[in-house]
Structure 1
Amino acid sequence: MTGSVAAPPLTVADAVRQLAFAQKGAARGAPAYSLFVNRPLGRIPAAIAFRLGWTPNMVTALSAGFTLGGVLLLATFPPSLMMGIGVWLLLAVGYVLDSADGQLARLQHAGSAAGEWLDHVVDAWKISSVHLAVLVLVYRFFDLPSPAWLLVPLVFTIVAAVAFFAMILNDLLKAKHTGPVATTVHSSTPLRSLLGLPTDFGVLCASFALLGAPPVFFAVYTALLAANALYLGLALVKWFGDMRALAPAPAEGTPRHRSTEGNPDVIA
């Protein structure tokens, strides 16, 4: 009688290849940086964490640690080339790990409501904290022509927070009204991905590399705010239309109708 032979453990390279083939679809409008830079890079720490036996929540915590380092560096030290590069790298690594935790969960078949909750909470903290750190930096070290320019990071904080919350609320309300059924994910076209590029957190991270020239950085940061505000304004109109089109939530015990509608547009 022969016993079964255990399969050899998955190597890091094998795990990276498996993630590349089993990658979840991209939502419409997903920015190019997230699709073509951050997600592929996230496969590497996800595969390493898989080999080390880490949980997705451990990767989320590591992501938060790198992001916290970038936020503290941004709010504490005067702007310089080296400081800006340090902020960029810390935030960018945190962003890569933010992609890795979900990929690790798929690799381990270990997704959970608690893990998704933790990931969203860290994202919400990150989105607001980075812009508030910019506010502290600008107030302490920038020579502004008018105090009114301090409104730029404040408004950016509001725009980013509203965009993130609206995206989460879209998913919540659609699940409530149509049921938690599988949906078809529409591929993001190259044009849509490029148009959404200014809204990507990875692009914001890269902008901090310009802190060696504060006026240049602040001009780029202000332009990113304008692009994000415009994109959010257009998206809110569409999302509100989507919400109005939803049928009333069925009563308790009433079967839900399945929906074939794709995922909503997202702003990163």
Structure 2
Amino acid sequence: MSTMENRQQAVQRLASAQKSARGAGGYSRWVNRPVGRQLAALAYVWGWTPNRVTALSALCSAAGILVLALVHPGIGMAVAVAVLLALGYALDSADGQLARLRGGGSAGGEWLDHVVDAVKVSSLHAAVLISWYRFFDLPREALLLVPLVFGVVQASSYFALTLTDQLRRVTAAKAGQSAVATPLVNPHEHAPVLASLLVLPVDYGLLCVVMLLLAAPPVFVVVYTLVMLANLAYFLLGCARWYREMSAL
């Protein structure tokens, strides 16, 4: 059996055991997970471990963030940042899928994945702040607060979602139920398309695409600010919902 046949079989196995599409943003659902599936199958054939894929994801994201902070905005710079961040995001999806192919992940692997994500979402907006300060001709200095607020919102959202997930698992375990927070489903499961489009503004993948607008700094400032406001609104509404859910456990 050839290597390509092995990879194809791995892709088919993953296609029948994907996370639920419910609640997933459009980019994550239709772009990132399918790309991550192909990367996971390739890593599986190569004999890579999930932690190795996580490390590569971290390197790609770090490279994109460094380019964002250190290089003057332009077309080449914008493409490099967007591609590196998108590749890091796809590999972030691939490590979990690779773990499923290998029979399940580990607590250490899950910890590493979460820590890398936490560092990524915090440092990305710090890099935007540095770029704006160094290279952008902002009409008002107060606009420097935008990436600062965005970083706080995304770091807080990530913590709130992670904590909510862990509390669900603990409660399920105490009740003697399955502690799996994100069940695997048939890939043909019906999930509302409109819902995935509505949460697209808070999809990290959209932020990767928005980085292409670094080639036109004034446009980037406007779009980035609008995405920040959407994330802030989602976080505030989400906190109220998550608190009610946690209080009811």
Does TM, scored on the shorter chain, surpass 0.5? Answer: yes
Cα distance in 2 for residues equivalent to 1:206 and 1:25 = 23
| CA deviation string 1:203-230 (max 9, x = no partner) | 0011111111100011000000011111
2:142 to 148, 152, 155: 148
1:127 to 121, 124, 130: 121
Equivalence for 1:21: 16
Question: How many angstroms does 1:177 deviate by?
Answer: 2.9
Q: Does residue 155 of structure 2 align to residue 161 of structure 1?
A: yes
Cα distance in 2 for residues equivalent to 1:117 and 1:128 = 17
Q: Does residue 109 of structure 2 align to residue 106 of structure 1?
A: no
- Asked if the contact 1:30/1:188 (under 8 Å) is kept, the reply is no
Mean Cα displacement is larger for which, 219-228 or 16-25?
A: 16-25
- Taking structure 1 as the reference length, the TM-score comes to 0.85
Equivalence for 1:226: 229
Query: Which amino acid in the other structure matches residue 157 of structure 2?
Result: A
Question: How many angstroms does 1:175 deviate by?
Answer: 2.3
Cα distance in 2 for residues equivalent to 1:22 and 1:8 = 23
Instruction: Give the unaligned 5+ runs of structure 1.
Output: 1-6, 247-268
Query: Which amino acid in the other structure matches residue 218 of structure 2?
Result: P
Question: How many angstroms does 1:72 deviate by?
Answer: 0.5
Query: Which amino acid in the other structure matches residue 226 of structure 1?
Result: L
Q: Does residue 221 of structure 2 align to residue 211 of structure 1?
A: no
Query: Which amino acid in the other structure matches residue 8 of structure 2?
Result: A
Cα distance in 2 for residues equivalent to 1:15 and 1:241 = 40
Query: Which amino acid in the other structure matches residue 10 of structure 2?
Result: A
Does the C-alpha gap of structure 1 residues 188 and 164 become closer, same or farther in structure 2, counting only changes over 3 Å? farther
Instruction: Give the unaligned 5+ runs of structure 2.
Output: none
Question: How many angstroms does 1:176 deviate by?
Answer: 2.5
SS state at 2:20 partner: coil
Equivalence for 1:254: none
- Taking structure 2 as the reference length, the TM-score comes to 0.91
SS state at 2:19 partner: coil
Equivalence for 2:199: 196
Number of equivalent positions: 239
Equivalence for 1:243: 246
Q: CA RMSD in A?
A: 1.8
Structure that is richer in helix per residue: 2
1:54-73 mapped onto 2 (5 Å cutoff): 54-73=48-67
Percent identity reads 53
Question: How many angstroms does 1:110 deviate by?
Answer: 3.4
Equivalence for 2:72: 78
Question: How many angstroms does 1:188 deviate by?
Answer: 4.2
Q: Does residue 180 of structure 2 align to residue 177 of structure 1?
A: no
| CA deviation string 1:59-83 (max 9, x = no partner) | 0000001001100000001100110
Cα distance in 2 for residues equivalent to 1:234 and 1:138 = 29
| CA deviation string 1:78-125 (max 9, x = no partner) | 100110010000000000000000000000113111100000000001
Cα distance in 1 for residues equivalent to 2:169 and 2:85 = 32
